[in-house]
Chain A
Amino acid sequence: KAGVTQTPRYLIKTRGQQVTLSCSPISGHRSVSWYQQTPGQGLQFLFEYFSETQRNKGNFPGRFSGRQFSNSRSEMNVSTLELGDSALYLCASSWGLSVDEQYFGPGTRLTVT
């Protein structure tokens, strides 16, 4: 069965712009979580969506937001981009009924110049 897919894979943006990243979970999975990976901070949890509702949120500013659609696909949006937002953004999907194994997508590499 198909894995988690993320689009786009690479993105270059300028400071002050906004960006939208997309994640399609494994078929049947209802939970989508987003993580930011940087060399300095490592892997940090952004937020999790389950059945179109944000269930958990990490410690990131309000510029980072997300949503989930009825087909479980999820998007995350970053407004007013800063240089420090340059990172690999990973999404992960799971069944979501309880805490269970998460399957990660290939990631979107965002570079802010």
Chain B
Amino acid sequence: ELKVEQNPLFLSMQEGKNYTIYCNYSTTSDRLYWYRQDPGKSLESLFVLLSNGAVKQEGRLMASLDTKARLSTLHITAAVHDLSATYFCAVDGGTGNQFYFGTGTSLTVIP
């Protein structure tokens, strides 16, 4: 079965610091998605990475994909409190819209 692992599971960081969340997966998929979830809310799409070497940036977040290493990273630059949320990566199963989600990384940015 396709497995998606994220680390760390929990991340507490100070405002202004940089950090990276890692997402490893066990399939040869070349599509990877990042979502954000605020407490009690649904999933908000952040990035769609569709090929090896893809890099996308939005504000203080940058995501990249290395399909050969089966690894995606979500880099946070100069964190601010508003980025506090849980971040999920997801990989498609290749047979339709069947996503396999990582365990999630709960990010807390401390002022």
Contact = CB atoms under 8 A, between A and B. Distances in A.
B99 A45 contact: yes
B101 A43 contact: yes
Contacts of B97: 31, 33, 48, 50, 55-56, 92, 94, 96, 99-100, 102
Contact of A101 (B33, B93, B102, B104): B33
Interface residues on B, range: 20 to 34
Given A42-B101, A90-B43, A107-B42, A101 B96 contact: no
Contact of B104 (A33, A42, A105): A42
A107 B93 CA distance: 22
Interface in A27-50: 31, 33, 35, 42-45, 48, 50
Interface string A65-100: 000000000000000000000000010101010011
Q: Is the interface of A mostly helix, strand, loop or mixed?
A: strand
Contacts of B103: 42
Given A90-B42, A90-B43, A103-B45, A43 B88 contact: yes
B53 interface: no
A99 B45 contact: no
A105 B37 CA distance: 12
Interface string B37-70: 0000111110010000000000000000000000
Interface of B: 31, 33, 35, 41-45, 48, 88, 90, 92-104
9 contacts: A33-B98, A43-B104, A56-B93, A58-B98, A90-B43, A96-B96, A99-B92, A99-B94, A104-B44
